[in-house]
Amino acid sequence: MTIFRLTVNETAVEVDVPGMRRLLDVLRDELALTGTKEGCGEGECGACTVLLDGAPVVACLVPICQAEGAVVRTVEGLAGPAHQLDALQAAFLETGGAQCGICTPGMLMSAQAYLDAGGGPDDGAIRDAIAGNLCRCTGYTKIIEAIALAASGRVVRAE
């Protein structure tokens, strides 16, 4: 067991775990941040997507020893301090981009990275940005609508 220090959702944290513990397990178990989900454990479904130093990665494939000193952002870090939905989340709510919701946290993180990098409301570019996030409920249609809506800056109705 070793102590690893990183920043998660703007909070400095310290965990004492084996170095090969998956970042996914550190988030869900040690830090009780269960918003990030495990869908496959093999990096295929994207449900565990988080931002690691701003880049979307699948947390099931990152050992904590490689996240030492990193800045991590999860779905819990998107909303405001009083749980106000951010523009992207509000867009998903508006268009119906979440059905069962299990893919949603990872999908939001990939979408957030796309928007942070200046991504626009282009169908093809959005599909490419979320190609690593599987959804079985929506057919992706309203997810893409939501991301395009957020990209266009015309989001209304944040709760």
Partner 1 sequence: MPVEPPVSSPSSLVEAYAAMAEFPPARPIAGGTDLMVALTGELGQPPERIVDLWHLDALRGISADGEALTIGALTTYTEVRRSALCREHLPGLVEAAATIGATQIQNRGTLGGNIANASPAGDTLPVWLAMDATFSLGSIRGERTVRAADFWIDYRRTALQPDELLLRIRVPLANGQEMRYRKVGTRRAQAISKVVIALAWREIPGVDGWTDVRVALGSVAATPIRARATEVAMEGRWPIPETADLAAETLAAEIHPIDDVRSTAEYRRIVSARVLHRLIREAGGW
Partner 2 sequence: MTTRTASPGAIVIQPGTIAPGRARGVAPLRREGPAKLTGAARYTDDLVFPGAWYGLTVRSTDAHARFVALDLDPVFDWSTIVVATSADIPGDNIVSSIKSDQPILVPVGGEIQHHAEPLALLAAPDRATLRAARRHLRVRTDPLPPVFDPLVSEHEFAHYAIGVGDVDGAFAAADLILEGEYRVGHQEQLYIENNAMIAVPREDGGVAVHGSLQCPYYVHAALKRGLALDDEQAQVIQAETGGGFGGKEDFPSVIGLHAALLARKAGRPVRMIYDRHEDIAATTKRHPAIVRHRTGVTLDGRLVAQDIEVIMDGGAYCTLTPVVLSRGALHSGGPYRCPNVRIRARATRTNTPPNGAFRGFGAPQVEFAAETHLNRIAEALELSPLEIRRRNLYRPGDVTPTGQVLRDSVAAEEVLERAVEAAEFERLRTRLRSARRGRDGSGAIPGSPLRTGTQRLASGIGLALAWHGAGFTGSGEVHLASVASVELTAAGEIRILTASTEMGQGTRTILPQLVAEALDVPFDAVEIAPQDTAFVPDSGPTVASRTSMVVGGLLIRAAQRLRAQVEAATGGRFAETYRDHAASHGAIRIDQRFEPYPGVPFDDATYTGDAYPAFGWAACVARVDVDLDTGEVHVRDVVAADDIGRVIHPILAEGQVEGGTLQAVGYATIEEIKLRDGRYLNDRLATYIIPTALDAPRISTILVEAPFGSVPHGAKGVGELPMDVGAPAVVAAIADATGVWIGDLPASPERILAAMAGLPAVAGLRPGASEPA
**Residue numbers of the site for partner 1 (CB under 8 A)?**
18-22, 25, 41-44, 46, 49, 52, 55-58, 60-63, 65-66, 68, 110, 113, 128-129, 131-134
Among partner 2, partner 1, none, partner that 141 touches (CB below 5 to 8 angstroms by kind):
partner 2
Among 34, 54, 68, 120, binds partner 2 (CB under 8 A): 34
Q: 6 is in the binding site of which of partner 2, partner 1, none (Cβ under 5 to 8 A by kind)? A: none
Question: Of these partners, partner 2, partner 1, none, which one is at the site of residue 98 (CB under 5 to 8 Å by kind)?
Answer: partner 2
Cα–Cα–Cα angle for 6, 46, 19, rounded to 5 degrees? 35
Residues 6+ apart with CB under 8 A from 110: 46, 49, 56, 129, 130, 132, 133
Could you say which of 75, 148, 149, 155 contacts partner 2 (CB under 8 A)?
75
Instruction: Kindly state the helix (H) or strand (E) to which residue 16 belongs, with its residue range.
Output: strand 11-17
E strands within 22-139? Answer: 49-52, 55-58, 71-73
Residue 44, token pair as written in the block: 């295929």
Question: Could you tell me the smallest distance in angstroms from the CB atom of residue 58 to partner 2?
Answer: 11
| Number of residues assigned to the chain | 159
